[in-house]
Amino acid sequence: MPEVTYQLNTDKNIATFMIDSAGPVNTIGEAFIKDFALATLKANKDRVKGVILASAKKKSFLDGANLMEIIKNPSPMNLKYTVLQLQEIMANLAKSPFPVVAVLTGQTALGGGLETLLWTCDQIFAAPGSKMGLPEVNIGLFPGSGGPETLKRIVGLKKAVKMVLRGQILPVEAYSATKAVTITAKDKIWADAETFLAANQNIINRNYDPDYHEPEKMSLEEEKVVIKKARATFGICPDKPYITAAINAIEEGLELPFEEAVHNEIKHFAPLIAHPNVKNKIDLFFLSTSIAPRLATVNLKKALKVPELAIIGAGLMGQGIAQVCASKGIKALLIDIDLKTAQAAKTRISQELTVLTQKGRMSSKQQENILANISVSDSYDDLKEIPMVIEAVFEDLKLKQNILKQVQAINPEIVFASNTSTIPMEEISAKSDRPELVVGMHYFSPVPLMPLLEVIEGPRTSPAALATAVASGRQQGKTCVVVGDGPGFYTSRTFGVYVITGFYLAEMGIDPWKVDRLALEAGFPQGPLNIYGTAGGNVIHHAGSYMKEKRPELMTIPKTLEKMFEAGYIGAGKPCFYKNGGQPDESAMQFVVLNKSLPQPDDDEAKEMLLLGMVNQAFHCLDEGVIKNYYSMDLASVIGIGFPDCWHGPARYVSLKGVKATLSRLEELYEKYKVPFLKPAKEYERLIACGVDKGLV
């Protein structure tokens, strides 16, 4: 079967290139390139009046390069040759003497797929539900086959830079302002495409048209300012070579004609494949897509079916959980102390959804369906027939124990999932007669956007309760990582260390806002002190104090944090390190307690401490059996708590640095700065004894 089938409508003399590559989604590989070239040749030979690009797959139009093919021979030479070929077939079709359009009937065109459309098509016809984007930076690459050049011609440089560097995949409505994309209903899309072809016989491809006017075109100086800003915003971390490469390619492209600019992209693109951090990103992609579903070793046969669940506590988390469940077709009963509160929560969900609908992320029909799945109540009596309840109240042990007691009094068979971020299952279920039904489901905020669900297996959690939590979590579209019990489990504990390291660095004399900047340079998405404000200082303080109480050998609370907490500098509407959305609030300095007895770390050492603090805590979790394997360690740290994705996670970081080198570095830093959580975990010694210095993940 050819991956691109040439279908000629002899009546109209219009050819359709029907894309259908091997595998569940259409990808660009050797066979595709060959067949696409052949189809272009035929179209030219037949002197067609136009070509329609289309896909035989229901959901995938063309979703980028065949990654498996690339990693089989991950050499820059090989990649360069492949991209050269791809660029050649695109150029050949684009320069053919007939118009070209694409028809997307609700499918996705991603990466190389969108590049193909942007390069070759005079017009893209897309039905609602179609999605397009250049997500290459998410796998450690950048669109190197004309992506930036062709995208800027339809959306302008400013937007193109953002879309490329963020790797955004957007619904087609987001492109509707461009002249190159027409949104059309599915039933008339083919007719529209043909009409366009007939009416535009002499159209010149915009990429080759010297008279084409790029939207929002600026002067070269202005364009360079845009590039400079992009470097400052996106290119701050030197360990993300794909971002730097993308910006360099775009910048050099500013002063080059189209064909030279796209060729020049290859120069920046191909060498990336040999970089270890690019391998990290590609591996992480496979980890989160193909390994993650097999990670949780639970007996799914024992899982109860959960077509309907209840959520106790209609706060921010409860609302998010209800929204996620409802959007996946699970009936969600939102319970709070009174109906008014519960109803108000549902109203807020409705408002959130309306925003999404207005942005084009969701149809009003979808919104209606979601809301129809959410009901509200103020009575636990409604739990009688429900198989699972998720408790999402404040982090208060007594409160949680009480709710558990009341729930089990009404329905002793119900699976009780606690959405706690710190309190062990052992404690929550301590007073229950049915502790085996208690399991942890730790969601991340904002629930609809965060993919991770940390499922906690308490010492007495039954295989059935655990399996039910995992199965329901997956049904909710979450990536489930099962962890063992213990204060702060895996993520809160490790995340807490990151935030608190930030405070310690400030106490060692680094300007707090510089601490945050250094964190960004180290690859973190957000600085630790910034997180203190956005996550809420009271939450951080509460979690930190709890950890300190339970694990005094691993956790201390910096004096600065105590003082800020006491003074009400806790962010989330109250003052913290930042004001007016990102401006430093110098008044926070009054709380910073400098520790003159410690040396001030230099920039590199500070960054290393931020990374190693988290890494080491992850290994402490491994020592204690909280984290069960390296895949879980890496996956949860990146998608849950912002460990720099360019490192793949703590286990890969240690693998790349070497176990011995990591241990001796931690010993040095612990000796020098006395921060308790830099005390090396035990596992390093065991690995070294076994002769393992790398190869953890």
Partner 1 sequence: MEKCVIVSAKRTPFGKYLGSLSQMEPLDVAVHVANAALETTGPNIKDEIDQIFVGNCIPSAFETGSVTGRQVGLKLGMDVFTTTIDTACCSPLTAMRMALWGMRLGELESALVVGIEAMSRTPHASRQFRTGVRIGSVQMKDPIFPISYPGYQSVAVDASDGAEKYNISKRMLDNFAMGSHLKWSKAYKEGKFNDELAPIMVKKGRSKYLFSNDEMPRPSGSISAIEMLPTVFGAKTTTAGNAPGLNDGASAMIIMTETKAKALGLTILGTILDQTGATDMPYGISWIPAKAIKKILKRTKIDLDSIDLIEINEAFAAMPLVSTKILAEDDEKKWYDLISKTNVNGGAIAIGHPVGASGLRITMSMMYELKRRGGGTGVAAICGGLTQGEAILVKV
How many chain residues touch partner 1 (CB under 8 A)? 23
Shortest distance, CB of residue 633 to partner 1, whole angstroms? 9
Q: Which is nearer to partner 1, 224 or 660 (CB)?
A: 660
* Residue 279 β-bridge partners: none
Binding of residue 220 to partner 1 (CB under 8 A): no
Burial category of 557 from C-beta neighbours within 10 Å (exposed 0-12, middle 13-18, buried 19 and up): middle
Shortest distance, CB of residue 631 to partner 1, whole angstroms? 5
Among positions 45, 47, 72, 294, the unique one binding partner 1 when judged by CB under 8 A: 294
Q: Which is nearer to partner 1, 532 or 631 (CB)?
A: 631
Binding mask 79-98 for partner 1 (x = CB under 8 A): --------------------
Q: Which is nearer to partner 1, 1 or 690 (CB)?
A: 690
- DSSP category for residue 63: E
The answer to whether residues 345 and 374 touch, using CB atoms and an 8 Å cutoff, is no
Rounded distance, CA 441 to CA 428, Å? 13
Binding of residue 386 to partner 1 (CB under 8 A): no
Rounded distance, CA 565 to CA 569, Å? 6
Residues in Cβ contact with 671 at an 8 Å cutoff, skipping those fewer than 6 apart: none
Shortest distance, CB of residue 624 to partner 1, whole angstroms? 12
Rounded distance, CA 364 to CA 372, Å? 12
Q: Which is nearer to partner 1, 524 or 631 (CB)?
A: 631
Amino acid at 277: N
The answer to whether residues 365 and 356 touch, using CB atoms and an 8 Å cutoff, is no
Shortest distance, CB of residue 138 to partner 1, whole angstroms? 21
Burial category of 311 from C-beta neighbours within 10 Å (exposed 0-12, middle 13-18, buried 19 and up): buried
Among residues 99, 90, 83, 131, which one has the least CA distance to residue 15? 99
Shortest distance, CB of residue 420 to partner 1, whole angstroms? 26
The answer to whether residues 132 and 62 touch, using CB atoms and an 8 Å cutoff, is no
Distance from the Cα of residue 677 to its chain's centroid = 28
Q: Which is nearer to partner 1, 582 or 691 (CB)?
A: 691
Distance from the Cα of residue 312 to its chain's centroid = 28
Binding of residue 114 to partner 1 (CB under 8 A): no
Burial category of 64 from C-beta neighbours within 10 Å (exposed 0-12, middle 13-18, buried 19 and up): buried
Whether omega for the bond prior to residue 76 falls within 30 degrees of 0, making it cis, is: no
Among residues 640, 644, 642, 664, which one has the least CA distance to residue 653? 644
Shortest distance, CB of residue 691 to partner 1, whole angstroms? 4
Q: Which is nearer to partner 1, 503 or 684 (CB)?
A: 684
Rounded distance, CA 341 to CA 337, Å? 7
Binding of residue 687 to partner 1 (CB under 8 A): yes
- DSSP category for residue 502: H
Q: Which is nearer to partner 1, 53 or 627 (CB)?
A: 627
- DSSP category for residue 289: I
Amino acid at 533: G
Q: What are phi and psi of 580, to 5 degrees?
A: 45, 45
The answer to whether residues 697 and 630 touch, using CB atoms and an 8 Å cutoff, is yes
Among positions 188, 228, 305, 686, the unique one binding partner 1 when judged by CB under 8 A: 686
Q: Which of residues 605-624 bind partner 1 (CB under 8 A)?
A: 622
Shortest distance, CB of residue 694 to partner 1, whole angstroms? 7
Q: Which of residues 622-661 bind partner 1 (CB under 8 A)?
A: 622, 629-631, 634, 651, 655
The answer to whether residues 456 and 483 touch, using CB atoms and an 8 Å cutoff, is yes
Q: Which is nearer to partner 1, 640 or 650 (CB)?
A: 650
Q: Which is nearer to partner 1, 506 or 659 (CB)?
A: 659
Shortest distance, CB of residue 30 to partner 1, whole angstroms? 24
The answer to whether residues 311 and 414 touch, using CB atoms and an 8 Å cutoff, is no
* Residue 182 β-bridge partners: 125
Burial 335-352 (b: 16+ CB within 10 A, else e): bbeeeebbbebbeebeeb
Q: Which is nearer to partner 1, 79 or 622 (CB)?
A: 622
Between vectors from CA 647 to CA 274 and to CA 443, what angle results, nearest 5°?
A: 140
Among residues 26, 361, 309, which one has the least CA distance to residue 173? 361
Find the helix packing angle between 650-657 and 630-641, rounded to 10°.
120
Shortest distance, CB of residue 295 to partner 1, whole angstroms? 8
Binding mask 666-685 for partner 1 (x = CB under 8 A): -----------------x-x
Q: Which is nearer to partner 1, 32 or 647 (CB)?
A: 647
Binding of residue 689 to partner 1 (CB under 8 A): yes
Binding of residue 344 to partner 1 (CB under 8 A): no
Among residues 137, 130, 319, 329, which one has the least CA distance to residue 244? 137
Q: Which is nearer to partner 1, 294 or 365 (CB)?
A: 294
Binding of residue 1 to partner 1 (CB under 8 A): no
Amino acid at 554: L
Binding of residue 695 to partner 1 (CB under 8 A): yes
Shortest distance, CB of residue 105 to partner 1, whole angstroms? 38
Binding mask 246-285 for partner 1 (x = CB under 8 A): ----------------------------------------
Q: Which is nearer to partner 1, 62 or 467 (CB)?
A: 467
Q: Which is nearer to partner 1, 2 or 658 (CB)?
A: 658
Binding of residue 696 to partner 1 (CB under 8 A): yes
Shortest distance, CB of residue 622 to partner 1, whole angstroms? 8
Burial category of 382 from C-beta neighbours within 10 Å (exposed 0-12, middle 13-18, buried 19 and up): middle
Shortest distance, CB of residue 662 to partner 1, whole angstroms? 15
Rounded distance, CA 267 to CA 193, Å? 36
Binding mask 501-540 for partner 1 (x = CB under 8 A): ----------------------------------------
Shortest distance, CB of residue 291 to partner 1, whole angstroms? 8
Burial category of 39 from C-beta neighbours within 10 Å (exposed 0-12, middle 13-18, buried 19 and up): buried
Shortest distance, CB of residue 656 to partner 1, whole angstroms? 12
Among positions 291, 344, 567, 656, the unique one binding partner 1 when judged by CB under 8 A: 291
Q: Which is nearer to partner 1, 32 or 631 (CB)?
A: 631
Shortest distance, CB of residue 140 to partner 1, whole angstroms? 18
Residue position matching structure tokens 């590039």: 227
Rounded distance, CA 258 to CA 419, Å? 53
Q: Which is nearer to partner 1, 261 or 467 (CB)?
A: 467
In this chain, which stretch among 42-50, 193-201, 545-553, 687-695 interacts with partner 1, using CB under 8 A? 687-695
Residues making contact with partner 1 (CB under 8 A) = 291, 294, 622, 629-631, 634, 651, 655, 683, 685-697
